[in-house]
């Protein structure tokens, strides 16, 4: 595998999945490096949580999806992050039963939920464990009254496809698999103790999550034989 860093002034904002044992809702805004006033995300980029009672985990799942690549980190526009506010409004919530909220991100160009079936099948053919590896790369926990930062780095793995023409010496063809790695940090909000023993009435902020990048390069990993 040969790795090369390539400048990338525009990077897709990742797709985000958040799951929790209790009902919650999500709002978000776009953040800028130059201090410009944040702008609200388009509402259709957020799918508010739903719970399938017949599912194995019976958790609430909410999503943020940059539909058709509409939202991208952009160095020239100083757009470098999306800031999420997560509120809970479930009267069943008990602090002592809170095992945390789980967040998972995927490259929006290669999300297992949205990628075309033929691409999905090709990825599994080349690497049966590919999607399992993706889940493990960017799986993090959000705690009660935490402020969380996730900074992503983008990679593109180019897997060689062997065919008759490559045996004859023609240039190889590649299957591209974009994926992300991330650095994650959390701090507890100073007013956490104020809410610890109180029941949920109406909307209460559970946590904030920033997902962005300061790395305007992407690593291209090309398979060679």
Q: Cβ(223)–Cβ(159) under 8 Å? A: yes
Report the alpha-carbon distance of residue 37 to residue 214 in Å, rounded. 19
Each residue's pLDDT, cut to its tens digit, for the chain (225 residues) gives 899 999 999 999 999 999 999 999 999 999 999 999 999 999 999 999 999 776 777 899 999 998 888 899 999 999 999 999 999 999 888 888 888 999 999 999 998 888 889 988 988 888 888 888 887 889 999 999 899 999 999 999 998 887 666 666 677 889 999 999 999 999 987 765 555 556 666 678 899 999 999 999 999 999 887
Cα separations in angstroms, 32 against 60, 61, 75, 211, 212: 30, 28, 10, 12, 10
pLDDT for res 199: 62
Q: How far from each other are the two terminal CA atoms of the chain, in whole angstroms?
A: 9
Strand-by-strand arrangement of the 15-20 sheet: 46-51, 60-64, 15-20, 101-106, 139-142
pLDDT value of position 47? 96
Going by their DSSP bridges, the two strands 139-142 and 79-88 should be labelled as unpaired
Q: Which two tokens stand for residue 69?
A: 């690549």
Give the burial string for 43-59 (b: 16+ CB within 10 Å, else e). Answer: eebbeebebeeeeeeeb
Nearest to 215 by CA among 80, 30, 31, 105: 80
Note the pLDDT tens digit of each residue in 54-94: 677 789 999 999 888 889 999 999 999 999 999 999 988 88
d(CA 59, CA 36): 37
Per-residue pLDDT, 31: 98
How far apart (Å, rounded) are the C-alpha atoms in residues 80 and 77? 9
pLDDT the model gives residue 198: 63
Separation CA 224–CA 213 (nearest Å) = 29
* Residue where the block lists tokens 């069943």: 92
Domains, in order of start, for the chain: 2-222 (2.60.470.10)
Contact between 73 and 213 (Cβ < 8 Å): yes
Structural contact between residues 67 and 45, judged by C-beta atoms closer than 8 angstroms: yes
With 0-12 / 13-18 / 19 or more C-beta atoms within 10 angstroms meaning exposed / middle / buried, residue 202 is: exposed
């Amino acid at each position: 595998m040969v790795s090369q860093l390539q400048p990338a002034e525009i990077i897709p904002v990742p797709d985000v999945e958040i799951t929790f044992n209790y009902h919650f809702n999500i709002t978000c805004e776009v953040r800028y490096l130059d201090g410009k006033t944040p702008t609200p995300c388009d509402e259709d980029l957020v799918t508010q949580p739903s719970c399938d009672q017949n599912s194995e985990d019976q958790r609430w799942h909410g999503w943020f999806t940059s539909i058709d690549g509409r939202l991208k980190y952009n160095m020239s526009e100083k757009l470098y992050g999306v800031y999420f506010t997560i509120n809970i409004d479930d009267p069943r919530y008990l602090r002592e039963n809170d095992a945390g909220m789980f967040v998972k991100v995927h490259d929006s160009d290669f999300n297992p939920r949205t990628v075309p079936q033929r691409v999905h099948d090709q990825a599994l053919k080349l690497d049966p464990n590919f999607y399992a590896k993706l889940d493990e790369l960017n799986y993090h926990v959000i705690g009660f009254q935490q402020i969380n930062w996730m900074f992503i780095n983008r990679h593109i793995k180019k897997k060689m496809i062997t065919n008759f023409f490559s045996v004859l010496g023609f240039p190889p063809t590649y299957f591209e698999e974009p994926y992300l790695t991330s650095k994650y940090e959390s701090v507890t909000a100073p007013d956490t103790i104020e809410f610890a023993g109180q029941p949920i009435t109406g909307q209460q902020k559970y946590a904030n999550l920033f997902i962005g990048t300061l790395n305007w390069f992407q690593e291209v990993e090309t398979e060679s034989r």
